[in-house]
A and B are shown apart, each in its own frame.
Chain A
Amino acid sequence: EAEVAQSPRYKITEKSQAVAFWCDPISGHATLYWYRQILGQGPELLVQFQDESVVDDSQLPKDRFSAERLKGVDSTLKIQPAELGDSAMYLCASSLAGADIQYFGAGTRLSVL
């Protein structure tokens, strides 16, 4: 069964450093989502792509976060500089274009020290 791939699984960094997360969606899925899940809470959308275009980045802290999906396939989420409050699980999900069901990756757990 095809799955959404994410790497790394865990990342420890110091505040003010730069970090990057990678996501490879299920083949053929045009829509890609990045969610942030703080411990004890539900995931919250950071950014949504349709192919290579950003559809929704209203909750993305654009002063420090950036996301790209240059060829409309895999995607990278970057934080620079990282802050203590960025410690969370970063989940990537994908879906077929125009479809409801979203499939999640295993996530990247970020710890900022």
Chain B
Amino acid sequence: GENVEQHPSTLSVQEGDSAVIKCTYSDSASNYFPWYKQELGKRPQLIIDIRSNVGEKKDQRIAVTLNKTAKHFSLHITETQPEDSAVYFCAASLAYGNKLVFGAGTILRVKS
């Protein structure tokens, strides 16, 4: 089955710097890749997603890139702010309506 690895497990950046989190997946048939942000004690919230027919997607300070050949995708956060501090999870899914296979998560700390 699908396996998703996520790095780094923790990431500390200064406010205003950029943060990059990387994930690799094992099943080349996976075609949907969401990123979730989970603040302490709260529900995971979708922040951005990408499908396999697209190489890059941006939404304000957040962007995701996908390299299907290498089977990896990355989350980029620019101009980080203290409220970006949270746990970020990447995930992969085979097809519409299928289960998500999650990475282990990255604890992002933005120091002010």
Residues of A within 8 A of B (CB): 3-4, 31, 33, 40-45, 48, 50, 56, 91, 95, 97-107
Find the B residue at minimum CB distance from A45. B99
Question: Which residues of B come within 8 Å of A, CB atoms?
Answer: 4, 6, 32, 34, 36, 42-46, 49, 51, 89, 91, 93, 96-97, 99-105
Given contacts A91-B44, A101-B34, A42 and B97 within 8 Å (CB-CB) = no
Collect the chain A residues with CB atoms within 8 Å of residue B93's CB. 100
Q: Are B45 and A104 in touch, CB under 8 angstroms?
A: yes
A45 and B100 in contact, given A100-B93, A101-B46 (Cβ under 8 angstroms): yes
- Measured CB to CB, the closest approach of chain A to B9, in angstroms, equals 9
Q: Are A97 and B97 in contact (CB under 8 A)?
A: yes
Known contacts A45-B99, A100-B93; A105/B43 CB under 8 A: yes
